Amino acid sequence: MAKKSSKAQFHSYPQNVAEPCLQPITETIEKNYMPYAMSVIISRAIPAIDGFKPVHRKVLYSMYKMGLLGGNFIKSANAVGQAMQLHPHGDSSIYETMVRLARGNEALLHPFVDSKGSFGKHYSSDMQYAASRYTEVRLDKFCAEIFRGIDKDAVDFVDNYDGTTTEPVMLPTSFPNILLSPNLGIAVGMASKICSFNLSELCDGTIALLKNPGMDVDSMLDLIKAPDFPGGGLLVYNRAQLSEIYKTGTGSFKVRAKYVYNAERNCIEVLEIPYSTSIELIINSITDLVKEGKLKEITDFRDEIDLSGFKFTLDLRKNTDPDLLMAKLYKMTPLEDTFSCNFNVLINNSPKVMGVIEILSEWIKFRMECIRRETKFVLGKKEEKLHLLIGLGKILLDIDKAIRIIRETEHECDVVPNLMSGFSLDQVQAEYIADIKLRNLNREYILNRISEIDALQKEIAELRETVGSDSKIKKIIEKQLKEIKEKYAKPRQTQLLFDSEIKQYKEEEHIDNYNVRIVLTKEGYFKKITMQSLRGSDEQKLKEGDEIFISEDTENIADLYFFTDKSQIYHCKVSDFDDTKASLLGDFVATKLGFDENERPVFVKALTQIEPKHKIVYLFENGKGVRVPFEAYLTKTNRRKLTSAFSSASPVKAVFYEDAPFNIMIKNNAEKALVVNSEQIPIKTTRTSMGVAIMKLRPKQFVVSAERGFEKAIPGYARYQKAKLPAPGTVLAEKDIAELQISLLDL
């Protein structure tokens, strides 16, 4: 029998169907994925040293070519249509870009687009901008500084996508726009997030760097004090944090809302919010806190944004301290937000994360090249003019001869060659002279023109000197920056608030403290009962078939830790639960804390302070056990939910809190018991450790329960103890089983 081919073993295709082409994954990534990734990085998401992404550049340049710099307003739809010649990605993406650049959106400290109509607001996702057919735009006068020298070969130009026109590779910005305009971009495998700085401070810092390229970060911080955002707010000033951002281009700082207290209306008026948040996020956050009963100081809150500007109002209850309430809101809502910096910039088409000084140094290199090219362009024009005037000066010696040569030449095509031979001119000079009108072929006209030669020669010498001198080019940049600062600088909008002046809100300091009893039932109902309430009646109401699982006395300021059967821990405060009575069912914990589906609590512990001696003891169905220090569950961010808090390799059968050694009786399904002391169970610092075997189990045997506090019910429990672990346990006596059941019911 013939052996089947290996191809037939995998698949067979009809004769008229081509087999699929197999391609190694590395080749697929190299040929398909990498070009896409590089296109997103270079041509879409990451800004270049001029401070613009490609779409920004295309929109602004198309408006510049339309004559909208200093011109009249036109419909946005018209400007969008023209921009599509450079950016063929749909009108909606172009218009969204134009909106963000517009004055009406208030997203930039110095807008590039002057606008009429509704352009929405960057601080509100609900305030949508109007359609492009209803709004009008033109370039702001400030744009003169981003196009300075663009018509004098200051930057390279490339063909657009279909080769019908050209566009600039970058704009020759005469100020460091890369740090003036905030930018956010998400590429493939990397991102960029650049905050904005004050124009006046940027100009001062750049001028200082021009004079002293080796200046340090501290000196730069004295000039460029901190980021500055449109919309203002208060920047929590931490010099060490900002120094790290200035050095590396990465790091974060906090910005908080600015408010005033209106005593007449007894309300807080929030007038400025962090740049990175929105009014909707703030309202949603406060709404959730009010529903949870955590903001009882507020009676009402509303958005009062109108034509006069931003305002968010909070009505207060009588005798509420507004400063204390705002400290609480700063901690619990986006009224204080963190801005994370990632100064990723394209340098020669390669992304690079840089600090402030390095970015300014790269911009200076870029700007110096722009000015050098612009100077060369002007120099070339001056040299051309000088060359023509020198030729004109030659015919001054014999104007009649020039007229005679032109008059006596029979064919027009011979005029230029005859002038060239008659006066030793080159073709360019001869063409220029031949084109002079007959009325200008007089001594006065020619003398007036050639009188410019001396001035031109002096200008050309200066221009040549400038082209070859970095120091002269830097002087030009310095002069331009001073002019820009004088003409366009604005006062800082984001004020600085030193972190040493801030009083941090600590929730426990503002919670009423009193003694309470917490009760957890097996069905998952939780009660917080005041001692005063218990004096009246301590008879607990429970659902039918339910029973009390854990009951202990604690304080209202204590932390609560709920351990669940899904190996998770939920952390909250005792004060998060309302006071209740023994005669009520209480709160269903799974709903209150947002447990996962079918998740139930297996243990709860209230603690006001965690010490090294505090440990959690776990016993699992497979007979293993472990002790974990309570400190292992502390997190820097104080998370409310901790996943993978303990081992899930075997179902947990019991969880205990240990602050001193105690005895545990472990039972299996074969009615065997083993008594161990908690000190016999090993300590593991890894939260998810299973520990070691405590009770030996035969096949099909498993632990069914583990109890503490059984000593009074079973005085002779010593017979169930074993000196060496793991141990198989001893069969429970019938009397001990009965006593144990009665004692557990009493609990």
Closest of 356, 364, 359 to residue 210, by C-alpha:
364
Closest of 83, 194, 182 to residue 137, by C-alpha:
83
Tell me, yes or no, if 134 is annotated catalytic: yes
Other Cβ atoms closer than 10 A to 34:
12
CA distances to 183, 355, 361, 436, 452 from 49, in Å: 12, 13, 10, 46, 40
Are 415 and 422 in contact by the 8 Å Cβ rule? The answer is: no
Are 49 and 110 in contact by the 8 Å Cβ rule? The answer is: no
Separation of alpha carbons 512 and 246, rounded Å: 44
Instruction: Name the DSSP letter for residue 357.
Output: H
Beta bridge partners of 645: none
Instruction: Name the DSSP letter for residue 682.
Output: P
φ, ψ dihedrals at 721, nearest 5°: -85, 150
Q: Which residue reads 């502390």 in tokens?
A: 634
Closest of 188, 120, 164, 147 to residue 52, by C-alpha:
147
Beta bridge partners of 261: 268
Burial of 49 by CB count in 10 Å (0-12 exposed, 13-18 middle, 19+ buried)?
buried
Separation of alpha carbons 396 and 542, rounded Å: 118
If you write DSSP's letter for every residue of 451-509 in order, what string do you get?
TTHHHHHHHHHHHHHHHT-HHHHHHHHHHHHHHHHHHH----SSEEEEGGG-----GGG
**What single-letter amino acid sits at 529?**
I
Separation of alpha carbons 419 and 425, rounded Å: 7
If you write DSSP's letter for every residue of 597-628 in order, what string do you get?
TT--EEEEEEES---TT-EEEEEETTSEEEEE
Helix (H) or strand (E) segment spanning residue 525: strand 525-530
Are 626 and 647 in contact by the 8 Å Cβ rule? The answer is: yes
φ, ψ dihedrals at 719, nearest 5°: -70, -15
Separation of alpha carbons 176 and 205, rounded Å: 10
Separation of alpha carbons 435 and 430, rounded Å: 9
**What single-letter amino acid sits at 385?**
K
Are 132 and 97 in contact by the 8 Å Cβ rule? The answer is: no
Burial of 397 by CB count in 10 Å (0-12 exposed, 13-18 middle, 19+ buried)?
exposed
Six token digits for residue 421:
């031979």
If you write DSSP's letter for every residue of 16-53 in order, what string do you get?
TSPPPPP--HHHHIIIIIHHHHHHHIIIIIS-BTTS--
300-309 long-range contacts (CB < 8 A, ≥24 apart) are 303/279, 304/269, 305/121, 305/124, 305/127, 305/279, 309/271
Q: Which residue reads 């130009």 in tokens?
A: 157
Which of 33, 134, 161, 514 is flagged as catalytic? 134
Question: Which residues are catalytic, by number?
Answer: 134
